[in-house]
Chain A
Amino acid sequence: MSWPSMLLAKQRLPLLGLVVLYLCAIALITLGASTITYAATETAGVAAEVTTESVETSAGFRDRLPFPAPKLQREDYPNIGFSSRSIVWVIAQMHLFFAAFVLAVPLFVLVIEWIGVKTGDERYDDMAHECMKISMTAYSITALFGGTLAFALFLLYPQFMAYMMNVFDSQVLVYAFLFFAESGFLYIYYYSWYRWRFGNSKWVHLTLGLMLNVVGTTLLLLANAWVTFMMAPSGVDDAGVVTGGIWEIMRGPLWNPINLHRFIANIAFGGAVIGAYAAYKFLSATDQRARAHYDWMGYTANFIAVLAFLPLPFAGYWLMAEIYAYSQQMGITAMGGILAWLFIVQAVLIGTILMASNYYLWSGMSRTAGSQRYTWLIKYIAAVLVVCFLIWVTPHTLILSAAEMKQLGGSNHYLLGPLGIMPAKNIAVNLMLIFTFLSFQLFRRADKEVTVAWAGFGNALMICIYIVAIINIIFAGIYYGYFTNTVYKVGSSVMQVVSTLIVIIAGVTIDTLMFKGANKLPSQWGKVSNRSQYALFALPVAFTWLMALMGYVRSSVRSHWHVYTVMKDNSPDNFIPAIGHAGNMMTIVTVLFLLFVLFIFWIASLSDRKQARPAYLSSDNT
């Protein structure tokens, strides 16, 4: 039985307990972090209300004048002869890539380690340890880029940083402290791996892993608050003077949607990078054992990446909905204004990810003879995916001429607007997700033979769910999309999304129940084509580029504001860059990241190899 089904079948309760414990701990730390700063900020709030004279008498470590957001002129920005934004862009993106990676890896490493304990299969334990090994080098690089980013921001945007420091106050110290804690837990967790491997020691080790993740996730939440404050400030007045406690500042309208979105995306991203590592080791392996091990590791990592990737559009949908609720203007800027074009690029990227995942799943089916039952379906799945992909990337309007672009200016265009909500594309996207899930389900069924008595009904139910869901998605898209008003058009996209979710949830549930105690057919790890491994490289490359792209959108919706509605950006870079320019930046950061990652793989493989004792020394030894 593969570990995913383990996860869903036997050990559900302890896992649930683990998750609850983890969430509680994060909530505790976040609340704790905010209470530490709360007392201080409360004083500041009072100070802001009272007059300036009271400052000298008020207690607390944050007694000072009310500090409105500075109004900057162009000459207030340091000019080092090169676009400040580009410098910060590259460094911030590198920091984010590595941070996402090192926060995500311990999350699933802990789950893998725990499965190893439950099943007693040491392969899990070794694989978990190997993942951590890669993450260790990445951790140092994260810290290096984080430090560089802070320096760059203070150097290039001093007044902005002064304002942010003023708003977040001692919260940044909590962040710094947690970073120490993170490092401590990480090193102890990694280096004690084989020291505390069995019995009660293992549980101590698992607890360390849990603490590591609790601290890591809290770091993520604290840092997200800075970003969401810039997008949708809360706890400050119109002039930017702090009026609320740190908790009000942190808990802006976009904080939780971003938290969820980044949390899930990090896992997908981490899984994809680990998958690339396994593929790299697979391709350079010379013996069958190593091939089998890395094939299995690549499969597991890919499984994690795809599983985390599938709910991502829904988290994105929530984020977009909250952005619209916060400011319709901001929402339209993202979806219907000049940024609308990048959703074509996004379609290309997600299409690449889905195609690569599907191809990898189909290739993986060759590992077992049981897959022959399903191979006839692959060509149809492939056909649907290709057609949907083409529909998805077709621009709604012909490419505009240069003169028309000029006319378009910064505002919306009557031809471009419908790109935001497009029924045809919604159909295509949802069908792609459903058919990818079908590939995944067939893949998981390939090495099993069902034994339960109600298999006939289960299969009938599953097939019906697929057919009805597909019909429902097409019906909703066409009927509400083209024959009713805008409100119903938008509303029906939720219907489509829920249809897709029903397929996924029903698929997982039915299969889990139906394949309980199923006959396992023999399958051979390592018996997969070299070509399939390139899908495991396509995934992280596309993920990395996609993250950079979505970061560009998230940041651009603020338009010419450092802190939306509160602090204007008057720097020379206060325009939203065109998609081509942004694309070039994304390529730069992706290639940089790629080079760093290959460097990490190389470092990780260094410790595997021992130099053989040269012949001229061997005489001494004997």
Chain B
Amino acid sequence: MSAARCNQRRPQQGSVLLRVLLFSLTLTLVFTLVANLLPQVEGEAPVDMEIDLSALTMDDFVSLGESIFREKGTCTLCHNNLGRAPDILRLDMVETSGQRLQDERYQGVAANAAEYLRESMIEPGLFVVKGFGKKGSNDTESPMPAVDKAPILLSDIEIDAVIAFLQAKDGNEVSVELPTEMPAAKAAEPAAAPPAAPLPEPADNAEAALAKYACTACHSVAGSQSPVGPDLNQVGDRLDPGQIRESIIEPNAVVAEGFFPGMMPADFASKMTVNELQMIVDFLAGQKAGN
């Protein structure tokens, strides 16, 4: 190749390089954009909870159980309405436990609902609900991991809390006892551990309360837009304050047309303060076409 030719080629090669680079960078940016347009969710690692046992009430214990059920325990990964496992949130678990104990296929030693629930968390294979066994095992093996083992690793107290939640969520009597002392391993740790997380501050006004309980996530109300639940902007025209209160406390009693039961959390009664509930009801009752 002659020198003249080499010189002739150089500027062209430079422009090819530039164009290729530009093309590739643009494409990369498109991918980046798509990734950034999607909803951004981080998968937080579960944090070991410190519980102040002296001030623990049964309500706190039940709500601890619920948060474990939904988060750390990862129960809702399968126990939901997609048919992967029995939909525990929809079933009355005390009643269901009674039926399971009567079942002739039951092999465990539990005598009551609480024992059955504990047993099914620690040794899920003892009773496999029909249709939910491992594929090919003819419902003799359970696909569920033991919750006291890795990777879930719930402590005895946490398992008790879940049982308390499962009993309480349908209004049944809670039979597990409140924990009185931390397990030995935990107690041995230095007392300098961070203090228990304080309960969330009660909201000051209705808007804050709506935000605190994430009502705005599903309902169009107070400026938010969401198609998941019924539009509440003119709810005052449709429902009286009593009905509104009932819809919050017992959302599945009456379900608006076009929506499914079970979508709205049924536990606000045990979470909201009386004051917060009243503020929300007053606020919603005032949402009329006129204003």
Query: What residues of chain A have their CB less than 8 Å away from a CB belonging to chain B?
Result: 238, 279-280, 283-284, 286, 327-329, 332-333, 336-339, 341-342, 344-345, 348-349, 352, 395, 398-401, 403-412, 414-415, 417-418, 485-487, 534, 537-538, 541-542, 545, 556, 559-561, 564-566, 569, 574-584, 586-587, 590-591, 594, 598, 609-612
Which 6 A-B residue pairs are closest in the complex by CB-CB distance? Answer: A583-B35, A576-B43, A560-B45, A612-B3, A565-B150, A404-B217
A612 engages B6 (CB within 8 Å): yes
Query: Are B45 and A403 in contact, CB atoms less than 8 angstroms apart?
Result: no
Q: Beyond the given A403-B211, A559-B151, A586-B31, please list 16 additional residue pairs across the A-B interface where CB-CB is below 8 A.
A: A280-B16, A286-B12, A333-B77, A337-B77, A338-B41, A400-B39, A401-B217, A401-B224, A404-B214, A404-B217, A404-B228, A410-B74, A559-B43, A577-B42, A582-B35, A598-B20
- The residue on B at minimum CB distance from A324 is B143
B107 → chain A closest CB, angstroms: 22
Q: Is the CB of B35 within 8 A of A575?
A: no
**A537, B31: Cβ atoms closer than 8 Å:** no
Closest to B46 in A: A560
Report Cα–Cα, A332/B228, bound state, in Å: 23
B227 CB–A CB distance under 8 Å: yes
Q: B263 and A344: CB pair below 8 A? A: no
CB distance from B66 to the nearest CB of A (A): 12
Question: What residues on B are CB-neighbors of A534 within 8 Å?
Answer: 20, 23
Q: List 17 A-B contacts (CB under 8 A).
A: A286-B8, A328-B78, A328-B84, A403-B224, A407-B214, A410-B74, A411-B74, A486-B82, A542-B31, A575-B42, A575-B43, A583-B31, A594-B24, A598-B17, A612-B1, A612-B2, A612-B6
| Interface set, chain B 129-188, CB cutoff 8 A to A | 135, 143-145, 149-152
- Pairwise interchain contact B28-A238, C-beta atoms closer than 8 A: no
B76 within 8 A of A: yes
The CA-CA distance from A398 to B225 in the complex, in Å, is 12
In the bound assembly, the distance between CA atoms of A578 and B77 in angstroms comes to 18
Contact B2 A412 (CB under 8 A): no
Contact B82 A284 (CB under 8 A): no
Number of A-B contacts (CB under 8 A): 203
Residue of A333, A404, A561, A576 near B218 (CB, 8 A) is A404
Alpha-carbon separation in the docked complex, A577 to B135 (Å): 32
In the complex, what distance in Å separates the CA atom of A187 from the CA atom of B90?
Answer: 66
For the complex, what is the distance from the CA of A538 to the CA of B28, rounded to whole Å?
9
Compute how far the CA of A337 lies from the CA of B149 in the bound complex, rounded to whole angstroms: 21
Indicate whether A345 sits within 8 Å of B35 (C-beta atoms), given known contacts A280-B20, A612-B2.
yes
Residues in chain B near residue A408, CB distance under 8 A: 41
Q: A459 to B265, alpha carbons, bound, how many Å?
A: 60
Any chain A CB within 8 A of the CB of B278? no
Contacts of A545 in B (CB 8 A): 28, 31
Residues of A near B224 (CB, < 8 A) are 401, 403
Closest to B211 in A: A403
A486, B87: Cα distance in complex, Å: 15
User: A417–B80 Cα gap in the complex (Å)?
Assistant: 9
A398-B83 CB under 8 A given contacts A403-B216, A404-B217 = no
What is the CA–CA distance of A344 and B34 in the complex, to the nearest angstrom?
9
**Minimum distance in angstroms from B38 CB to a CB of chain A:** 5
Residues of B within 8 A of A280 (CB): 16-17, 20
Judge whether B55 is part of the interface by a CB distance below 8 angstroms.
no
- How near does chain B come to A513, taking the closest CB pair, in angstroms? 39
Minimal beta-carbon separation of B32 from chain A (angstroms) = 4
Whole-angstrom distance between the Cβ of A269 and the nearest chain B Cβ: 15
Taking CB as reference atom, which chain A residue is nearest B17?
A: A598
**CB pair B71 A410 closer than 8 Å:** yes
Smallest Cβ distance from B27 to chain A, in angstroms? 5
Complexed CA–CA distance, A581 and B42 (Å): 10
Task: Please judge, given known A-B contacts A336-B77, A538-B27, whether A586 and B83 are in contact too, CB under 8 Å.
Answer: no
- Are B83 and A561 in contact, with the CB atoms below 8 A? no
Residues of A contacting B145 with CB < 8 Å? 327-329
Check A405/B39 contact, CB under 8 A, given A398-B227, A566-B150: yes
User: Do the beta carbons of A337 and B43 come within 8 Å of each other?
Assistant: yes
Residues of chain B lying within 8 A (CB to CB) of residue A341: 38-39, 41
CB of B41 within 8 A of CB of A329, answer no
Across the interface, which residues of B come within 8 angstroms of A578, CB to CB?
Answer: 40-42
Whether B238 is near chain A, meaning CB under 8 Å from some CB there, is: no
Chain B residues, CB < 8 A from A344: 34, 38
Q: Which residue of chain A lies nearest to B7 when distances are taken between CB atoms in the complex?
A: A612
Q: Does B104 contact A (CB under 8 A)?
A: no
Could you tell me if A590 and B40 are in contact, using CB atoms closer than 8 angstroms? no
Does chain A have a CB within 8 A of B256? no
- A406 near B35: Cβ-Cβ < 8 Å: no
Q: Which residues of B contact A398 (CB under 8 A)?
A: 227
**Complex contacts, B16 vs chain A, CB 8 Å:** 280, 283-284
Q: Which residue of A lies closest to B35 (CB)?
A: A583
Residues of A within 8 A of B103 (CB): none
- For residue A405, which residues in chain B have a CB less than 8 angstroms away from its CB? 39-41
CB distance from A230 to the nearest CB of B (A): 13
Bound-state CA distance A332–B143 (Å) is 12
Task: Tell me, in angstroms, the Cα distance from A339 to B82 when the chains sit together.
Answer: 18
CB contact under 8 A between A403 and B35, given known A328-B78, A561-B151, A591-B28: no
Provide the bound-state CA to CA distance between A400 and B2, in Å.
63
Give Cα A348–Cα B17 distance, bound, in whole angstroms: 26
Q: Residue on B with the closest CB to A558?
A: B151
Chain B residues closer than 8 Å to A542, beta-carbon distance: 27, 31
CB of B3, distance to nearest CB on chain A (Å) = 4
Contact B77 A575 (CB under 8 A): no
A571 to chain B, nearest CB (A): 10
A541–B36 alpha-carbon span in the complex (Å) = 18
Q: In whole Å, how far is B75's beta carbon from the nearest beta carbon of chain A?
A: 8
Q: Is the CB of A328 within 8 A of B143?
A: yes
Contact among A329, A352, A407, A587 with B74 in the assembled complex (CB-CB below 8 Å): A329
Could you tell me the distance between the alpha carbons of A208 and B70 in the complex, rounded to whole angstroms?
Answer: 58
Determine the chain A residues whose CB is within 8 A of the CB of B201 once the complex forms: none
CB-nearest residue of chain A to B144: A328
Q: How far is the CB of A118 from the nearest CB of chain B, in Å?
A: 33
A428 to B149, CA, bound (A): 40
Q: Enumerate chain A residues within 8 angstroms of B45, measured Cβ to Cβ.
A: 559-560, 569, 574-575
Give chain B interface residues in 11-34, CB to chain A under 8 Å: 12-13, 16-17, 19-21, 23-25, 27-32, 34
Contact with A along B196-218 (1 / 0, CB 8 A): 00000000000000010010111
B112 at the interface (CB under 8 A from A): no
Tell me, rounded to whole Å, the shortest Cβ–Cβ distance linking A362 to chain B: 19
B226 contacts the other chain (CB 8 A): yes
Contact, CB under 8 Å: B83 / A486: yes
